[in-house]
Structure 1
Amino acid sequence: MENSTPQVVTIAGSDSGGGAGIQADLKTFQARHVFGMSIVIALTAQNTLGVQASYPIPCSFIDAQFASLAADFAIKASKTGMLADSEHVAAVVKNLQTYDFGPLVVDPVMIAKGGHPLLTEDAIQLIKEELLPLATIVTPNLPEAEVLVGYEIETEADMQRAARDLQHLGVQHVVMKGGHKAGDESADYVLLADQTDFWLRTPRIATKNTHGTGDTFSSCIVAELAKGVPVKEAIITAKKFIQGAIQEGIFVGHGHGPTNHWANLSEDVRVEE
């Protein structure tokens, strides 16, 4: 029975306010019935109003965290979130090449909800060249995708083009999150490794409480992959999870509040082949 429980790890920054980052990931892991672990890349002083300060962890200690987990656990899937700067991206890449932590979901976190930068510009090229080729799935929102591909994404055709361009960087599967677009409906575009694709369409919910949505969505995918769920099904379940977490809102803080990690899966997700 040793190590038979599905185990996952988040490699990201800590959100002292509890709504995003490692804290959101661990809450999602628990809700989806997998055992979650963490490798802390940076600490933040953060609340729903924004990020007041951040402190990157020394890379030698990041190495120690990787080695510690690898020595004891059977990690079946992993994800990255806030990676701070090029030095820390390089440290994470080196360790992911050393240890097998299963399928990797890259959430290319760049800017906090309040506008605070969470990734330096010199790290972006390193993510494109060295981290994405290691990734099973990448889950950018539209502003993040625009930075990665180098052009504006305004239409659904642009989303499809950008997904193909991201795939050319070496990642297997791409989820282009359309939550930043205007309109009554939110549409995510998914391009799988075998070139099949589909859209995930949901009603847009009028709320400012969306702090940590990207973290929650990507960590739900990780949890499903660790349980052996196929990629397409894992992505659809994650969309139902984050839609429910926004629909069944909670009210915490004075700014961009967090989503509800104990919400039910939403049925308001339309899969369009």
Structure 2
Amino acid sequence: MDGELFPRGFFPRERTEIVPGAVHVPDWLDPSRQRELLDACRAWARPPAGLRTVRTPGGGTMTARQVCLGRHWYPYAYAPTAVDGDGAPVKPMPDWLARLGREAVTAAYGLEGGQYGHDGQVLRQAGGGWDPRDPRDLPGLDGAYDIALINFYDGDSRMGMHRDAEERSPAPVVSLSLGDACLFRFGNNDSRGRPYQDVELRSGDLFVFGGPVRRAYHGVPKVLPGTAPPGLGLTGRLNITLRVGGLG
């Protein structure tokens, strides 16, 4: 009955702190910005150093295909060239995408209004507990976002529980979703099992995790086919994750 009365997306969704350091911001990218980002992803996916199937050291393959910017990720390291693809130099990280990463962190953690210092750090505020406005609680923001991993999921793709651990910088990971919705599983720092929480990420949603959960396990157990916005022109799901490498 509810599904008939209230279509998908009818109710506004609210910004939610899943756990301290992990924040979901629904509908952060408006439709125009989503289309611009999709057009850019299509250009990046073309050779050289384009969209590829990732093979694991054990001989398996990831069901989500990937293209990288700034640095090329392969299990489990970074390289300046597509070492497990065509060997071409990785495409550069655009300045506008790096700025989008910083904007996302600002929005997720409520850092609007001049909390950032001139050196790129955030200013300390009084108060106990974890505080994203304290550089001791949210380190790494003095570095620019210089790596993007773009994963394409079709309806049958999955991503097992894993940690983003190859970066040296502790800056938060920024995740942007386009196309079909998915079930995103956000776990804990210690194991791939429970406790974890499942969050539905839709096209345009932002998810940021840093601070105490920067190394938390996370994955995508399910994609929801046919849920992409009709006007976007995308079948499947694109996930753009932005990182500060700190790799020199």
Q: Does TM, scored on the shorter chain, surpass 0.5? A: no
Length-normalised TM-score, structure 2: 0.28
Length-normalised TM-score, structure 1: 0.26
Higher relative contact order (CA 8 A, sep 6+): 2
Q: Choose 1 or 2 for highest CA Rg.
A: 2
